[in-house]
Amino acid sequence: MSCGKVDPKCPNCRLSKNRTKVVPGTGPCDAKIVFIGEAPGKDEDLKGQPFVGRAGKILDDALESAGVSRNRVRITNLVKCRPPKNRRPRKDETITCTSLYLDRELQEIAPEVVCALGQTVAKHFVGTRESMSKMVGKESQIIIAGRPTKFIIAYHPAACLYQRKNLSGFRASIRTALVAADMA
């Protein structure tokens, strides 16, 4: 089964100008849970795979500490190309990219749980103005392929890179998402 295909030469937004490789999602097409990051960083852009740099190591460790190996979950991004200097993806880039790729990827997988990593992704789905600390770990619902799907907001793993004190909150938010998917 294949899912989440991305055109390796996608020309459809300005992020295509500076990228090295497009970065499709990885992990099973029948995954119970999909983790969605904001955008590829430098390591991801070079390798063409999501979360393979330092933030990826933090995510992998959080999954492992909850007893779940990375190859059981789907890991993907809101936009599939690295924004210059790791800036936030702009609204038009996000709309173009998600309507071409992420929306279909989610429909193909039809997971039980979608976990947004960080505020940019959370806002894309639920447009909330609340602070992250109020939103994290709370379960709501989004509709995917006509089906109500659990939606959980977690911290972004990069929040732990400079502030190690965020690590326990990050791990707890990942565990909450895995519990919602009945995986931890």
Does residue 40 belong to the site contacting ligand URA (CB under 6 A)? Answer: yes
Cα separation of 108 and 15, whole Å?
25
Nearest of 68, 57, 5 to residue 31 by alpha carbon: 68
What letter does residue 176 receive in the DSSP assignment? H
Nearest of 118, 124, 116 to residue 75 by alpha carbon: 116
Q: In the set 13, 22, 62, 77, which binds ligand URA (CB under 6 A)?
A: 77
Kindly tell me which of 44 and 93 has the beta carbon lying closer to ligand URA: 44
Does residue 45 belong to the site contacting ligand URA (CB under 6 A)? Answer: no
Cα separation of 17 and 26, whole Å?
23
Q: How buried is 154 (Cβ within 10 angstroms: 0-12 exposed, 13-18 middle, 19+ buried)? A: buried
Least separation in angstroms between residue 49's CB and ligand URA is 8
Structure tokens at 49: 């795979």
Does residue 33 belong to the site contacting ligand URA (CB under 6 A)? Answer: no
Least separation in angstroms between residue 147's CB and ligand URA is 26
Does residue 24 belong to the site contacting ligand URA (CB under 6 A)? Answer: no
What letter does residue 29 receive in the DSSP assignment? T
Reduce the DSSP state of residue 73 to 3 states and report it: coil
Q: In the set 41, 48, 89, 169, which binds ligand URA (CB under 6 A)?
A: 41
Kindly tell me which of 49 and 176 has the beta carbon lying closer to ligand URA: 49
Least separation in angstroms between residue 100's CB and ligand URA is 18
Kindly tell me which of 146 and 167 has the beta carbon lying closer to ligand URA: 167
Q: In the set 6, 22, 55, 116, which binds ligand URA (CB under 6 A)?
A: 55
Residue with tokens 């459809």: 12
User: Where do contacts with ligand URA occur on this chain (CB under 6 A)?
Assistant: 37-41, 44, 50-51, 55, 77, 158
